[in-house]
Amino acid sequence: METDREAPRAGGADKPLLRALAGEAVWPPPFWLMRQAGRYLPEYRAVRAQAGDFVALCTTPALAAEVTLQPVRRFGMDAAILFSDILILPWAMGQPLRFAEGEGPILEPAVRDAAGLAALDARGAVARTAPVLETVRRARAMLAQEAPRAALIGFAGGPFTVACYMVEGRGSRDFALARELAYRDPAWFGRLIRLLAEATADYLIAQAEAGAEALMLFDSWAGLLPPAQFRRWVIEPTAAVARAVRRRHPEVPLIGFPRLAGPMLAEYAQRVAGLGAVGMDTAMEPRWAAQAVPPGIALQGNLDPLALVAGGAALEVEARAILAAMRGRPFVFNLGHGIVPQTPPEHVAALARLVRAG
């Protein structure tokens, strides 16, 4: 049954995003956009220039909280997502991180052997994320003042995706080195994944305690794996993270996003106990997901970021098809992957109006 998004509730229970993540078919659906803070916004570029480099922006709470709020102020999303990066966790474990202009992230030295694992400080990692946790506190306080119906989402990378970057040392089309190592030395790869799963759970728990109201796991490269590897390196560690977070904070819903999982999305949604939502990537058929994922778990997604760049009739047709497929079930409108820098901000405003109209 559909429920009206403006229905008044007590306390924080009236936030449309949290109602959808609790299994309610709120309509019109809550919406936010992956990478909603970023280079397509002039006000982001101004703060970014002030910070100097990207890691400095992520670890300066006043600036990171400011850019967290920017898209919500401009477009009225139902959620703000903490401004940080999934690679802040390996950085906090002691692997040096930089973002080279035009090259993307570089984690050097790469972690590929027993000595590389021994050099990581997983226990001290959460303490080193203190500036990010301070960003969570500030962003939550700013939302209470400026956008009281918007919820704050904290996040981390999925252990597999973060391991891919740590092993490869940089971005890659296929993360061949990491995937080969997972076959060649599964005991070693398993140790890295376990270390990450534990640190990720601690980090998400710390974000919940700092004020995050929902938590998302971005497993961007999950879809590179064949089914048995997907079970071992995506579903099992994600289920372990979810168990640990739920044990401490059962009130904070978790959104899982195993990108390009295809039909494995159904098994992921069933076996990662307690998920509030699963993310659909751009390639996912929403009508398939609606019958494959249990009806109490919200779906989130999945407009093509390039339809948002194109705008106009193409954007309308694509967005309306998703809305039609999701009507009557718990749903959070989003993109199928992050906003790209060439997105015209007016197109985001047009999308916001369209989703709000249901």
Where does residue 294 rank: exposed (0-12), middle (13-18), buried (19+ CB within 10 A)?
Answer: exposed
Q: Which is nearer to ligand CP3, 81 or 241 (CB)?
A: 81
Under rule CB under 6 A, residue 36 binds ligand CP3 = yes
- Using the rule CB under 6 A, is 143 a contact of ligand CP3? no
Q: Which of 28, 30, 38, 279 binds ligand CP3 (CB under 6 A)?
A: 38
Per rule CB under 6 A, is residue 159 in the interface with ligand CP3?
no
H or E element at residue 256: strand 254-258
Among residue numbers 259 through 278, which ones bind ligand CP3 (CB under 6 A)? Answer: none
Q: Does position 59 bind ligand CP3 by CB under 6 A? A: no
Cα separations in angstroms, 81 against 67, 140, 276: 10, 10, 16
Interaction between residue 74 and ligand CP3 (CB under 6 A): no
* Three-state DSSP state, 202: helix
Single-letter amino acid code for the residue at 176 = A
Cis peptide before 109 (omega within 30 of 0): yes
Interface with ligand CP3 in residues 217-236 (CB under 6 A)? 218, 220
Q: Tell whether residue 35 is a contact of ligand CP3 (CB under 6 A).
A: yes
Min CB(131)–ligand CP3 separation in Å:
15
Contacts 24+ apart (CB under 8 A), 311-320: 311/344, 311/346, 311/347, 311/350, 315/347, 315/350, 315/351, 315/354, 316/354, 319/351, 319/354, 319/355, 320/354
Q: Name which of 52 and 328 has its Cβ closer to ligand CP3.
A: 52
Distances (CA, A) of 132 to 92, 323, 346, 349: 11, 34, 30, 29
Query: Which three-class secondary structure state does DSSP give residue 197?
Result: helix
Residues in 277-336 at the binding interface with ligand CP3, rule: CB under 6 A: none
CA 260, CA 216: separation in Å to the nearest integer? Answer: 16
Residue number, 25 or 265, with CB nearest to ligand CP3: 265
How many other CB atoms are there within 10 angstroms of residue 104's CB atom? 12
Q: Which stretch binds ligand CP3 (CB under 6 A): 28-36, 243-251, 286-294, 318-326?
A: 28-36
Q: Would you list which residues are annotated within the binding site for substrate?
A: 35-39, 85, 165, 220, 337
Query: Within a 10 A sphere around the Cβ of 331, how many other Cβ atoms?
Result: 27
Q: Indicate which residues carry an active-site annotation.
A: 35, 39, 48, 85, 165
How many chain residues bind ligand CP3 (CB under 6 A)?
22
Question: How far is the C-alpha of 279 from the C-alpha of 265, rounded, in Å?
Answer: 9
Closer residue to ligand CP3 (CB): 107 or 299: 107
**156 touches ligand CP3 (CB under 6 A):** no
The residue nearest ligand CP3 at its CB is 220
- Binding-site residue numbers are 35-39, 85, 165, 220, 337
Residue 73 CB, nearest approach to ligand CP3 (Å): 14
CB of 275 to ligand CP3, least distance (A): 18
Site for ligand CP3 contains 249 (CB under 6 A)? no
Binding mask 93-122 for ligand CP3 (x = CB under 6 A): ------x----xx-----------------
In the complex, minimum distance from the CB of residue 101 to ligand CP3, in angstroms, rounded to a whole number = 8
Strand partners, 105: 99
Closest approach, Cβ 118 to ligand CP3, in A, equals 25
Report the amino acid identity of residue 179. R
Task: Categorise residue 243: left if φ over 0, alpha if ψ from -120 to 50, beta otherwise.
Answer: alpha
Chain positions contacting ligand CP3, by CB under 6 A: 34-39, 48, 54, 81, 83-87, 99, 104-105, 155, 171, 218, 220, 338
